[in-house]
Amino acid sequence: HGHQIVAQADERQLLSGEHFSVDGTLIQAWAGHKSFVPKDRKDGDEGDGSDFRNQQRSNETHESRTDGDARLYRKGKTASELRFMGHTLTDNRHGLVVNAMVTQADGHAEREAAKVMINDVRQARTDETTLTLGADKGYDAQEFIEALQEMNVLPHVAQNISGRKSAVPDAVAASEGYAISQQKRKRIEQGFGWAKTVGHIRQVLVRGLQKVDQMFVLTMAAYNLTRLRTLGQVRLQGAQ
């Protein structure tokens, strides 16, 4: 069970419990372009959706017949695909995953999921220790930075200053802790890399948000187990 693995890591003092990183990754749904048809289409309608290249299709007007929770989404230079979005919160000490969840794919999902996951950590603590959260510049949005500050979480978010002013206070960005968080947050990619190569999360073989979420959380728990094994070996070698 995921929580037991995290508790075990905590007992072994492998978690900082204060310094975290967050990121999201795209998960390809088990549904193809041809399944993405107009919402108002009657079951008896002819056509298999194969003429989609000539249509303007959006999540407002169309949905997948194969997986109704999947959403057409593109990011950066990637092509538009039917996708979900997976999110993880890692502890910075050793990059262990302390929270994971899947949402529908949209532009706000990463920040919304991050707020939920770091709030879970905040609620689980009995003290008011200031936490830190590292994230890439996609999380540099005023409402997100303010939400973190309300939770007593220092926004160690990479500043997005391309043609705009960052929402991350310069005093925070100039701190030593911020520099460490920027370095540590890149470790989160190792979990995503493992999940996509070993854990088969690149394209899931289950359908529906709930099942995809279960699959993702289970995969991240398995990743933690491999990390714990590696850390155990490191600790043993150090003890010789």
pLDDT string in tens for the chain (240-residue length): 567 888 888 877 888 899 999 999 999 999 988 999 998 875 545 454 445 455 578 898 899 999 999 999 988 888 889 999 999 999 999 999 999 999 999 989 999 999 999 999 999 988 989 999 999 999 999 999 999 999 999 999 999 999 999 999 999 999 999 999 999 999 999 999 999 999 888 888 899 999 999 999 999 999 999 999 888 876 555 543
74, 62 contact by CB (below 8 A) = no
Distance between CA atoms of residues 240 and 232, nearest Å: 13
State the amino acid at position 215 in one-letter form. Answer: M
pLDDT recorded at residue 240: 39
- CA 133 from chain centre, in angstroms, equals 13
> What are 40-43's contacts with CB under 8 Å, separation 24+?
none
Distance between CA atoms of residues 155 and 93, nearest Å: 18
Q: Indicate the pTM of the whole model.
A: 0.88
Distance between CA atoms of residues 14 and 7, nearest Å: 10
Query: CA 135, 131, 219 angle in degrees (round to 5)?
Result: 55
Distance between CA atoms of residues 49 and 30, nearest Å: 16
Q: DSSP secondary-structure letter at 50?
A: T
Q: DSSP secondary-structure letter at 169?
A: -
Phi-psi region of 106 (alpha: psi -120 to 50; beta: other; left: phi over 0): beta
pLDDT recorded at residue 44: 45
Distance between CA atoms of residues 199 and 215, nearest Å: 9
